[in-house]
């Protein structure tokens, strides 16, 4: 069913079941690839909190969580400037970090985060994102290690993703109606 958020109409795009199935696949890949490490999962607030908590429930490795917060979006467009706020400030030296992100759009956020986290000499930085919009990514070398689903370059809301603060609580994902 079509929904309205603020001034815009959205149509159903990804069901809760589809989202959960994609997350299970990502978790299996991480469990396999990072076996033998104690990964430090870094969910990027606020958007990825839903993805992170569902993903982590399927991780069977000893692991830790530390949050980081970024902000770049205004309405349905990326502003290009990314503000990063440390929520936890763990020691990253020698750690295997998994950045947990809701969506890669222009790639500005992850490019900035990778540079910032690399300064502290982690052993490895992996990127797990639920969604990727390959057509929007401005950085050809920015490739997520784990991707739930690739989607077209259209604005989406739900399951953590917002439109001007609303819609994060929706259990499924909706696409902006043209």
Q: Does 156 bind ligand IMP (CB under 6 A)?
A: yes
Q: Given the complex with ligand IMP, which of 91 and 139 has the nearer CB atom?
A: 139
Q: Tally Cβ neighbours within 10 Å of residue 63.
A: 16
Nearer to ligand IMP, 94 or 152 (CB): 152
End-to-end CA distance of the chain: 15
Phi, psi of 128 (to 5 degrees): -115, 120
Helical axes 49-56 vs 16-33, angle rounded to 10°:
60
- Scanning 56-64, 97-105, 127-135, 149-157 for contacts with Mg ion by CB under 5 A, the matching segment is 97-105
Annotate each residue in 39-58 with x if it binds ligand IMP (CB under 6 A) or - if it does not, as one string: -----x--x-----------
Binding to Mg ion, residues 18-57 (CB under 5 A): 44, 47
Interface map 107-146 toward ligand IMP (x if CB under 6 A): xxx-------------------------------------
Answer yes or no: 105 catalytic. Answer: yes
Among residues 7, 88, 102, 105, which one is catalytic?
105
- Of residues 20 and 78, the one with the C-beta less far from ligand IMP: 78
Task: Give me the DSSP letters along 89-150.
Answer: ----TT-EEEEEEEEESSSHHHHHHHHHHHTT--SEEEEEEEEE-TTT---TT---SEEEEE
CA 46 distance to own-chain centroid:
10
Nearer to ligand IMP, 7 or 62 (CB): 7
Half-sphere exposure of 40 (CA within 13 A, CB side): 18
Q: Could you give the CA distance from residue 72 to residue 85 in angstroms, rounded to a whole number?
A: 12
Catalytic residues: 105
Question: Interface residues with ligand IMP (CB under 6 A)?
Answer: 44, 47, 72-73, 78, 101-109, 155-157, 161-162
Question: Interface residues with Mg ion (CB under 5 A)?
Answer: 44, 47, 102
């Amino acid at each position: 069913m079509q929904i309205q958020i603020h001034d815009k109409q959205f149509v159903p795009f990804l069901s809760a079941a589809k989202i959960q199935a994609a997350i299970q696949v990502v978790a299996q890949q991480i469990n396999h690839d990072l076996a033998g490490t104690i990964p430090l999962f870094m969910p990027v607030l606020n958007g990825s909190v839903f993805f992170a908590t569902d993903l982590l429930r399927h991780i069977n490795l000893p692991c830790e969580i530390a949050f980081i917060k970024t902000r770049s979006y205004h309405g349905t467009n990326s502003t290009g400037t990314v503000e990063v706020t440390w929520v936890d400030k763990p020691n990253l030296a020698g750690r295997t970090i998994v950045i947990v992100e809701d969506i890669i759009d222009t790639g500005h956020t992850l490019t900035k985060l990778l540079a910032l986290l690399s300064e502290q000499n982690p052993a490895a930085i992996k990127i797990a994102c639920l969604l990727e919009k390959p057509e929007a990514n401005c950085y050809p070398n920015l490739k997520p290690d784990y991707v739930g689903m690739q989607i077209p370059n259209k604005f989406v809301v739900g399951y953590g993703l917002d439109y001007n603060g609303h819609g994060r609580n929706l259990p499924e994902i909706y696409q902006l109606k043209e």
